[in-house]
A and B are shown apart, each in its own frame.
Chain A
C-alpha cells in the first residue's frame, strides 16, 4: 500500500468516529490507529460546515501480526496553520524516515497566535508527513504517520 492510498484511507475516516482500521491489499496489511475525538468546526472556510464523509470500503479483520505494518497517526488537536519548522527558513523539526523519541517536537500548529508544539507520543520512525508546511489544518486532521519502535 503506498502513501497515496494510505492518505485516501485517512481522508475517508477523518470525519468519522473510526479509531482503528486495518486494510489489506495484495497480501499486505496496514493498520492505522487514531485517538477518538468529537468533530469540531473548521476554520478558514465558509461558515456552513460539511457533512462527514460516509465510511465505505473499510474492512476490519482479525488482528494478525504477520505482514502488518502498524502505524500511529498524529492528528491536529486544533484548527490552525501547520508549521514544520520553528521559523521560516529554519530546519524542519523532523523529516520522513527520521527516528524520533517520545517527546520529540514534530511540528507547530498555530491558531490566534497561540503556538502548539506537537510532540511524538511514542518513539519510532516518521513514516510519512501528511500535511504541507504553512497550510491550514483541520481539527483531527492526520499530520504524521509514525511507525512505533
Chain B
C-alpha cells in the first residue's frame, strides 16, 4: 500500500490525461503544463500579454514562488497540489471584475465536492474551507485601463494530497488537504478536469446571465454569512454581523447600531 501511495503521488501530470474527456466551451481548450514555474499566474499573464485565447489554462506540478495575496507565499511542493491559472477576457467594465474571484470560488467548491466528495465552504471572498481549515485559495489579477478590461487571470491553488506532516507551524491548525479530509488519495488529474468544467459552466452562466446565479450559489456555501466578523480595510475597522452578499458580491455587514455597510475590499476575520 505504501508503495502504491508514493507511486501515485510521484506520478507527474500529463496533458493528454487532463485533456481526455474534458468537455468545455472555453476553459482548457488550450493547456500549458509545466513541471515547475515561479508562479502559474505570472506564466498566464505573460501568455495573456502575447494574446493568448480566453480560457487558456496554465498548470504546474510545482511552483517555486507560489503567491498568496500581498506577497504572502503559497507553499507549492511538487506532485501533491493543483496549481492552476486561467485567462479570461470578459467584455465587462474593470470595476465589475472583482466578482470573478467569487466565480472562481464557486467553481472550486463544486469541483472539490464532485471529485473528493467533501462539502467545501467559501470564506468570503476567496478562501476554500473544508471542516474549518483552508484547503484552497484564489488570487485574481487583472490588467485594465480606467474603462477597458484587457484580461483577468484567476489563479487557483488547491491542497490535494498533502499529509498532516506537510504543514508546519501555524499551518497545522489552519490548513488541510483533500486527502487528509477525505481519508484517501484524490486524483489530481480528475480534480483539474472537474475544475475546468465547473469554471466553464459558471463562466458561461456569468456571460449569459450575469452574477445573480453565482451569488445565489455562494449564499448557500458562504461560511461568512450569519457569522460575527471583524473587517479591516486600511486603518478602518468594522465589527458586525455578516448578513448577506449584495448583487455585486460585496459582503453586507450590520453593525451594533443596525447600520448596514458593504465591504468590497479588505480582510475579514470570523470571530464566531
Contact = CB atoms under 8 A, between A and B. Distances in A.
Interface string B94-116: 11011111100000000000000
Contacts, number: 119
The SS class assigned to the A binding surface is loop
Contact of B266 (A44, A46, A87): A44
B20 interface: no
Interface residues of B, number: 42
Interface in B66-110: 69-72, 94-95, 97-102
Contacts of B142: 114-117
Contact of A117 (B97, B141, B263): B141
B71 A90 contact: yes
B102 A112 contact: yes
Interface of B: 69-72, 94-95, 97-102, 125-126, 138-147, 152, 231, 233-236, 238, 249-250, 252, 259-266
B95 A40 contact: yes
Interface of A: 35, 37, 40-41, 43-47, 75, 77-81, 83, 86-88, 90, 110-117, 121, 132, 134-136, 139
Nearest to B140: A114
The SS class assigned to the B binding surface is mixed
A112 B95 contact: no
B191 to A, nearest CB: 21
Contacts of B70: 83, 86-88, 110
Given A110-B69, A135-B234, A81 B144 contact: no
Given A37-B146, A112-B249, A116-B97, A80 B265 contact: yes
